[in-house]
Each structure stands twice: as C-alpha cells, then as structure tokens.
Chain A
C-alpha cells in the first residue's frame, strides 16, 4: 500500500501514526509548498509516487497537487488545524517576523500601543481583563470551535467529542496552529476509522503508540494564554511566557514587559512596516480601540 500525506506541520504526526499503525505500508509525507515545488520542477520520483498512490491523506483538496495523484486513490481528508480563541491577541503580519523570531506573529495590543505613541509601561497596562472584554477577546470561542468542527465535517468526520475534550485539557496549545501532537493522532485516527481504514495493530498497541507519541511541537514557539483569558475559559494559563523555539532557536522566554520591550524595539527598527501594521489592525480607528485611546 502506497500512501502519500500532504499536510503542514502535522505531516510528521500523520507519518508517525500511519507507519506505527500500518507497519507494512509505504508511507511518504511532504508539506504542500515542497510538493508544489517538486511538481513544478518535474521531479520524476515524486510524480511517480503520486501517480501510484493507493491512499491520499491530509490536504486532499489542494488542486495543484490533487491533479497529479492517482485518481483511484482512496482519500482521507484532514483539515488544517487552527484554534485562536485562547490566543486572540496574536495576529500575523505577513512577511514581518515577530517577537518570537520565527513566523509573523505579533501582539495586536503591542502594535497598537506602539502605533499610538504609548510607552511600553502604558501598553502593559492594557493587558487586563476589562480591555480584553472590550476588544471582544472572550467572544471568539464558539466561532473558532464551530469553524474547526466545520472543517472536519467537510473532510467527512465528526470532531466534536475529541475537540471538546481537548479544549478542556490544560496545556493543549503551544501556539494557535500548534496543539499537542496527540491531538493530530486523535484526528487522523478518527478520520481513518471513519474512512474504513482501521489500524493493522491491536487496540493495546494503538494505545501504546498514542502514549509514546512524539510531541515534537512542544519544542517550537510558545505564545502565552493570558491569565485573564484562561480564567474566563476555566483553563490553566499555560503557556505562561512568549518563548522562542527550543528546537531551532535559543528557547529563551519573555514575560510581558520583555515582550513589549522587544516588540517596540523591533517596530522602531522597521519603519517600513508601519503601514502593514496599521492595515492589518484595521486602520486608525481600530488601532485607537486596541490602544484604548479616543480618536
């Protein structure tokens, strides 16, 4: 059985699951960008594997790739994961590496504070329960939950029970797109079972595989769940700090004041990014709202 997995940072988890539950299968995994690049280059070995694949797992709807996969291959769709309701202050500014030194994540309030001319001390005062409420930070849970469930439903399986269980679990998320990788284990397990592809190993072996599953995303960047937000949702305020990747960087952690100092220094050194920051926040009126200033 030839299996091709197309997924982003979850592809390693899916690979580990499938090679563990189906030891005899020939499993290959690749991230979408790499796959598209190989297709564009005309890499023959890759093209041949796609054309011969019996099972296509992951982002089965990416047209640029799906076109080249064996049309008879069985498809098991898995949605991209993202859950931002516990980290609503995080926003991406495309192409502008943020305070975590990897990826484009920035704090909305930090950006608004800088753009509004506040000091880091004044901006730090905005990180409070009341202001979060005014910004609608507590209102996004249901929307994000529903969006994730809808994405799973579109792939043909019901994620409700597993997601709800995970959302009540402390230390579930490291970053909005990085859950504990056992979540990916549970998701692909459900998708495979729903698709009529149960594991070739015993239930006990599946359980052992899950218990020992490599949680490689724990070594990546961390964005904190702010204490007031954690309290609102009744979960542990964890991660507690902004942390650089421990795998690819120093793993250094920052508290709020240090994050603001680092962010403001970054913005001061990047005057060409101010327009992007303003735009991504939604314009001057939104900046004023995030910075709690009257226009």
Chain B
C-alpha cells in the first residue's frame, strides 16, 4: 500500500503551509473552488463583514456586481438596500418575502429617540426615519419589489454568515436583525431572544439555496463566515465563549453545505483573519473591527483563488516549477 500522503502538495502539510511560511504568505484555501470571469454577475448579502467584500469587488472590476437598488453614500454596500443580514433565517425570510410578494405588514416600528418610524427589518437604513407607519410599509413594498433581481439574475451569490444569536417575534416567527428594544419602546412589538442551533441554520441555508437555485438554475453560492466577534451576547456564556461557539457553528454549517451541495462553495476569509498563527493581529485596537490592510490581503487571496486561470495552479508554484522536460542542469558553475 503506497503512502497516500506522498504526492500531496505543500498546502496539505502544516509545516510547509503554515509553520515554515512567512506570516504574510500563509494562504488558507478551500479545495472546492470555481473560476470567476468578467461576465459573471455577483450579488452580495450578509453580515457587516460582507460589505468589505462587496466594496472591494465593486472597485476591482474583476466581475460585475449587481446593484438592484441605487445605493446612497451612507448605505451599507450590498446588492440592495436591505442592510446587514446576520442570520440564515433572516436571509431565508427575505427571500420568501420577495418570492411571495407578501411583505411584512408589521414592519413599522416607532423609534425611541425621536418618535420617527423605521422598518424593523432594516432599522438603520433610513437615518431620518419616516413620518408614519404607512410610509414605512410603502417603502418596504417598493424595496421588496426592487430587490427581486438579486436572487434571479446573478451567476454567483456571496453570503457572509454573521450570527447564530437573534431576536424573533414568537407570534409570527419573524427574526429581526437587531433587538428592537435597542432602539424602540414600541409596546406593540413582541420579541424574544433566540440562539439558532447548527441544525436550524443548516436547514435554513439548505432551503434558501435550494429555493434560490429553482428560480435561478446555475447559481453558485459562495459562503464566508464573518470574523467580527459579537458586540454583545444574550446567551448564558460570556461574550468570548459565545463568539467562539457562534463562529464554530457557522463554520461547520458552511462545511456541511460545501460538502452536500454542488453549487455551494466556501471562501476561508474567516481563517485568514481570525487565526492565531500569523504575526500580529488582523484586528484594530478594539479587537473587533478588522484592519483595512488585513481585508485587502484577504481580497488579494480571493483574486488569486477565484480569478483568471489560477485555480489549481497556484501563482506560487511558478517559483517552484522545475522543468524536467528539457535538459536543464539543476545548477551551473558549481
């Protein structure tokens, strides 16, 4: 029986891929990848970290990035003005709302600070709020109609999973991106803490990808996990323990999806940022915000892994390539 590790490349060995590599050259890589071309149309959604990816891709001209709604300068950079989508359930919920055309009729909630009205599904999208509840509902109707192309048109959908913890309406089952009590005293709002399990998140993501694939055959879903720690937890563990549990679950879900679904892929930006093996931290002084240079390094690796013809033949290989097909001496003059 031959040694099965014998012909494996350097990336499979810790010493060669991590321990003996300059910290800025460590390059975590998923084995299952695909090739992006300039004709690909991308849509992006997810947690706040996903904005970094969308921002970079919009500026890079590597691909076309779908913008279903015109973004204003202060808007979070996604393919529509839906704001941060932290949980898998929230993503599925938005997809179902778009597909059914039946909007969340209880979306209007009154803000604590100035009594203006906002959409509970994207409470920070309109900094000035709305004058009344009906205006919120009308805006949501227009928004839901406008963002339908983000599921139907792109060839690649990039989604960053952010949290397991969320706040849901026990009566309707709707999940909110932010606990409404943070910004509202609206007595009509009923909400409760909910920490989604691995099984629930996996089921939500499988359903989302399966449904989206039905309206958009050929869509490829590229998953990432946000490396941004929790701002706060409402679970019984402390915030560090809750963060690690949350990220571990989300990473495991990505692994399961990548393994089970042909059109699901994982890009290890989380591993690039949150690993303890590179020199220096990828985080700012608050130990939460990801440094800009770290984001740029991640995106450079994204370009290497997903663009041009480099899939399967790494740029670094050029330096190691030995051309044994011509009679070249390994050395001259020695």
Identify the A interface with B (CB < 8 A). 5, 8-9, 11-12, 15, 26-34, 45-46, 49, 59, 62-64, 80-82, 84-85, 88, 90-96, 100, 102-103, 135-136, 139-140, 143-144, 147, 177-178, 216-217, 219-221, 244-245, 247-249, 279-286, 294-295
Contacts and interface: CB of A to CB of B under 8 A. Distances in A.
Contacts of A93: 312
Given A9-B328, A103-B325, A283 B34 contact: yes
Contacts of A84: 308-309, 313
A220 B323 contact: yes
Given A91-B311, A102-B325, 4 more contacts: A32-B319, A82-B315, A245-B326, A285-B34
Nearest to A103: B325
Contacts of B39: 136, 139
24 contacts: A12-B328, A30-B334, A31-B330, A33-B330, A34-B331, A92-B317, A96-B7, A103-B323, A136-B37, A143-B308, A178-B323, A216-B327, A247-B326, A279-B32, A279-B312, A281-B311, A282-B33, A282-B311, A283-B32, A283-B33, A283-B34, A285-B218, A285-B220, A285-B262
Top 10 nearest A-B pairs (CB, nearest first) are A136-B37, A95-B7, A280-B312, A28-B333, A80-B318, A245-B325, A9-B323, A282-B34, A92-B313, A102-B325
Nearest to A244: B325
B78 interface: no
A94 B7 contact: yes
Contacts of A27: 332-333
Contact of A286 (B9, B35, B323): B35
A294 B328 CA distance: 45
A91 B315 CA distance: 12
Contacts of B307: 143
B279 interface: no
B324 interface: yes
Contacts of B34: 282-283, 285-286
A248 B319 contact: no
B326 to A, nearest CB: 4
Contact of B331 (A31, A81, A283): A31
B8 to A, nearest CB: 7
Contacts of A245: 325-326
A102 B9 CA distance: 17
B199 interface: no
A179 to B, nearest CB: 12
Interface residues of B, number: 44
A86 to B, nearest CB: 11
B325 A62 contact: no
B72 interface: no
A248 B325 contact: yes
Contacts of B114: none
Given A8-B321, A91-B313, A280-B312, A285 B263 contact: yes
Nearest to A6: B319
A269 to B, nearest CB: 15
Nearest to A221: B325
Contact of B333 (A15, A85, A219): A15
Given A8-B318, A279-B31, A220 B325 contact: yes
Query: At the interface, is chain B mostly helix, strand, loop or mixed?
Result: loop
Interface string B37-78: 111000000000000000000000000000000000000000
Interface string B214-230: 00011010000000000
B320 A33 contact: yes
A8 B319 contact: yes
B22 interface: yes
Given A91-B313, A279-B32, A284-B262, A8 B320 contact: yes
A279 B333 CA distance: 42
Contact of A281 (B7, B220, B312, B320): B312
Interface string B265-279: 100000000000000
Nearest to A15: B332
B322 interface: yes
A279 B35 CA distance: 12
Contact of A282 (B7, B32, B317, B318): B32
Contacts of A284: 262
A147 B310 CA distance: 11
A31 B323 CA distance: 10
A62 B319 contact: yes
B138 interface: no
B326 A136 contact: no
A28 B325 contact: no
A49 B279 CA distance: 32
B318 A82 contact: yes
B285 interface: no
Contacts of A178: 323
A91 B312 CA distance: 7
Contact of A136 (B31, B38, B312, B331): B38
Contacts of A294: 217
Nearest to B22: A63
B293 interface: no
Contacts of B262: 283-285, 295
B329 interface: yes
A113 to B, nearest CB: 17
B323 A29 contact: no
